[in-house]
Chain A
Amino acid sequence: MKVTRPSQGLPASNPILDLIGIRKSFNVGQPNEIEILHGINLQLFPGEFCAVTGPSGSGKSTLLNTVGLLDRPTSGTLKICQQETTLLSDADLTDLRGHQIGFVFQYHHLLSAFSAIENVMMPMVADAGFSNKAMRERAAQLLGSVGLTPWLDAPASRLSGGQQQRVAVARALAMKPALILADEPTGNLDSKSADAVFELLQSVCRDQGTAVLFVTHNPLLSARCDKTIEVVDGTIFDL
């Protein structure tokens, strides 16, 4: 199946993320088979900021991994930017993930061998579709927007936790993705840094029309989102 890459600015009427009856089981066909997601239906439109809450073990991370094309659903339909993904090959999923989805994890997962700007440039270098100058400019601009201009060439390992997480956000934005998946990105940060990261994601969502799925346990942050869904035992509820 051919992957199409919808451009930015998808009509607001078309969902960026469209989940229809998504089920995810582990150990399929084994005696210990277990279903984690039970027929999830969810739509996310351009510029929509959606908080995902729920107790630990309820299936939030499984949902994010499935939406992020890191895991395949057992059944159901998963569309990213109108592209049906369940029948795509591993290479096509990787390609779609690289261009349309940005990840921010609870732990920043920066590449310690590289500097802040190099970490942000990394997805662009791998894509090989950018000139050296364009990559450098975009990465510097993204790091500037998260307030890290003075630390462009600082080794990633020398930055503080909050700074590292902001670099991770900048990296997630490098390819101008249509969808950002943030799995408790503020979980390890102090309230000031957490607020800064949240506001950064909000501004990206607002200014660039990027859809954001934001997992959090913080009710103050979820209250500031456009909508909130709660995952309970593999089923979602709108709050």
Chain B
Amino acid sequence: MMQLTWLPFEWIVALRFLKEGKIQSAFIVVGISIGVAVIVFMSALLTGMQANFVNRVLTGQAHIQMLAPKEVARTLRKNEANETEIAIVQTPLQRFKGIDQWQNVASQVAKMAQVKVVSPAISGAALLIRGDTTRSVSVTGMIPDLYFQIISLPEKIVRGQAILASDSILIGTELASDLGLSVGDKLRLSTGNGSVNTLKITGIFDLGNKGANSRSTFVALRTAQSMMGLIGGASVFDVTVHDVYAAENIARQIQSLTGLQADSWIKTNEQFFTAVRAQTTANTAIRFFVALSVGFGIASVLVVSVVQRSREIGILRAMGITRGQILRIFLLQGGLLGLGGALMGSGIGGAALYLWQRFERNADGSVMFFLVFDMHLLVQTLVLATLTGLISAFAPAMRAARLDPVVAIRG
């Protein structure tokens, strides 16, 4: 106690009581730490998976995509006899068409505070011809300076460069491999309106997806305009926003502002968010039940401690120790057990994350995805475990504080 007298009385006694029952304390701390380690590991894994997915999605697609509104057939009203004049309504064919007054619309959207970049593009289908072989591909015509701010295509170039002149094209690794193409080779693109263009490959990219690498091609906007017969036009806007999670709300605002169809990445990846919600719910449930078991563990240890120490509590009361001080002694023990378990559990969780990162790899040996040991998660876990300890200790502490000293001393 000589070394501890700078601590308040309650701390000295609480620490010494825990030290005296060290086996009991060690068991409960290990129990808590396992629970905390599970929470830390699972939370980091879940956060890492989500961040990895979001990162992958958002480096390969715009936050919001704006398209010309779909053409719809208008049903005729019922006549005076309440009979529908035309019984069958046929869905009209969706023609390839541009966005009306697209420059005005683009500048209107670009002025929105939440919007970062607006990139006009033309997106359509074409037939790639190389000798006797043909492949159906999707062609995206865009302004590189704008588009590359949205999709970081230059980072995905594995051969050549992301340079697009009027006669250049960028193709995927899979397509290049299938058709035996390399940088500098020429190929022909034929579109539905009969136009055939000969283009030179300036770069080959890897989007990290086999399907995308075999279908996607990129050309300059002007090239696409002439190929698709949409001179001076744009059929789609790719938009990025400052807050990616507000994309859906911003898309709705854009839709009401421009009358165009605006789809956010949240809407187009709805299944992912459903999975995330399910994972988050499962994680919350696990946290809750771990906290519950930790709480009951601490409470049971302290209940036993109160019974074991009832005579000591009695003599402390006889010495003039107040009920409040007794209450605090046992609350502190609960809090310290929670904190100790959380510290140890965070260490175990951190080690497990390190091992996972070290040994769990993709087939090619690359890191599956980066896990970050978030300091917020650590602080949150420490606070939560300490609070759980304090709350669980409340009932035993109250019991200790309410002990009648006469009865306690008599045993």
Contact = CB atoms under 8 A, between A and B. Distances in A.
B104 to A, nearest CB: 76
B72 interface: no
Nearest to B17: A113
A97 B1 contact: no
Interface string A74-116: 0000000000000000110011011100010101010111110
B133 interface: no
Nearest to B20: A113
Contacts of A94: 317, 320-323
A126 B406 contact: no
A109 B315 contact: yes
Interface residues on A, range: 20 to 34
Contacts of B320: 94-95, 97-99, 123, 126-127, 175
A162 B381 CA distance: 49
Most chain B CB neighbours (cut-off 10 Å) among A91, A109, A115, A121: A109
Interface stretch (A65-73, A212-220, A224-232): A65-73
A94 B405 CA distance: 11
A126 B319 contact: yes
Contacts of B323: 90-91, 94
Contact of A112 (B9, B20, B405): B20
B215 interface: no
Contacts of A112: 20, 312
Contacts of A118: 1-2
A239 interface: no
A76 to B, nearest CB: 18
A167 interface: no
Contacts of B12: 125
Interface string B316-330: 111111110100000
A135 B5 CA distance: 10
Contacts of A70: 317-318, 405-406, 409
A113 B318 contact: no
A107 B314 CA distance: 12
A128 B9 contact: yes
A10 interface: no
A203 B330 CA distance: 38
B311 interface: yes
Contacts of A171: 319
Contacts of B405: 70
Contact of A125 (B1, B19, B311, B409): B1
A65 B5 contact: no
A95 B16 CA distance: 24
A8 interface: no
Interface string B1-29: 11001101100110011011000000000
A176 interface: no
6 contacts: A107-B311, A109-B312, A111-B315, A113-B20, A126-B320, A171-B319
Interface of B: 1-2, 5-6, 8-9, 12-13, 16-17, 19-20, 311-312, 314-323, 325, 405-406, 409
Interface of A: 65, 68, 70-71, 90-91, 94-95, 97-99, 103, 105, 107, 109, 111-115, 118, 121-123, 125-128, 132, 135-136, 171, 175
Given A94-B323, A105-B409, 16 more contacts: A70-B406, A90-B323, A97-B320, A98-B320, A109-B314, A111-B13, A113-B16, A113-B17, A118-B1, A122-B316, A122-B319, A123-B320, A125-B9, A126-B319, A126-B320, A135-B5
